Amino acid sequence: MRKLMILALTGIAMFTSSVKAQKIYDFVSVDKQPEYPGGIRKFYDYLGKEIKYPEVAKKNKTQGKVFLSFTVEKTGKLEDVVITKGLTKETDAEAVRVIKNSPKWNPGLIDGKPVRVKYNLNVNFNLSSGTEKKAAVKGGIKPEFPGGTNKLYSYLARNIKYPEQAKKNNTQGKVMLAFNVEKDGALTDVQVINSLSKETDAEAVRVMKSAPRWNPAIDQNGHPVKVKYQMAVNFTMS
């Protein structure tokens, strides 16, 4: 019986170790973020050279962004490439194709050891200049709510509680907010820069302070940076 128990405990330990090895970390939880060889600018160069604007998209004058998510494996290979917000069937397929064919990245590290990391980005299809990169912050990437703008709107819709006083007064409109998106994706220093009412202002601030961590801004060298961000929270009773 003792031998069986030891074997069982060994099996549990091995299973726990295996699960830990397979864990996928988010971008802000690792000591060193994964990156394309040579940095983010080289990755942009790769996209610019490799993406072929689909003929159907050209014909239909389709422009916009394809949002993707993928895992940077411990080997640096990109796996599990999925569309989190599509544009068209053709542009989505082209964005996925190019990401899947990407050279191996430098993997994310924790305590000096490679780990699997979830990564989000978008590819912008623009007819005026071929395929552009994501909007720049000093040559890098803007901060973003996990999953993109639609996910942010869903979060707001689920979590905002319309203040009773605002309902009673039929108060409707926008609360403009400014806040910092820190290097770890946390939102700090949430302030109202254009007020609607005391109650709606307080609710907008509360919800943003409670928001999950965002994907932080990335500078031109591929490093997360702190940036100022502004947005509106809309209160409507319809």
Question: For the chain, what are the domain ranges?
Answer: 23-132, 149-235
- In percent, the amount of the chain with pLDDT more than 70 equals 84
3-state secondary structure of 198: helix
Question: Taking 90 as the threshold, does the pLDDT of residue 17 lie above it?
Answer: no
Pick the range with the lowest mean pLDDT from 24-28, 137-141, 172-176.
137-141
Does 149-235 match 23-132 at the fold level?
yes
Instruction: Give helix 40-50 / helix 89-100 axis angle, nearest 10°.
Output: 130
Residue with tokens 């194709």: 97
User: Domain 149-235: what homologous superfamily?
Assistant: TonB (3.30.2420.10)
Q: Does the pLDDT value for residue 8 go beyond 60?
A: no
Give whole-number Cα distances, 117 to 29, 114, 208, in Å.
9, 9, 26
* Separation between Cα atoms, residue 178 and residue 135, nearest integer Å: 19
Predicted local confidence at residue 201, as pLDDT: 97
> What does the alpha-carbon distance between residue 87 and residue 95 come to, in Å, rounded to a whole number?
10
Indicate the average pLDDT of the chain. 83
Q: Fold for 23-132, please state it.
A: TolA/TonB C-terminal domain (3.30.2420)
Look at residue 221 in the predicted model and tell me its pLDDT.
65
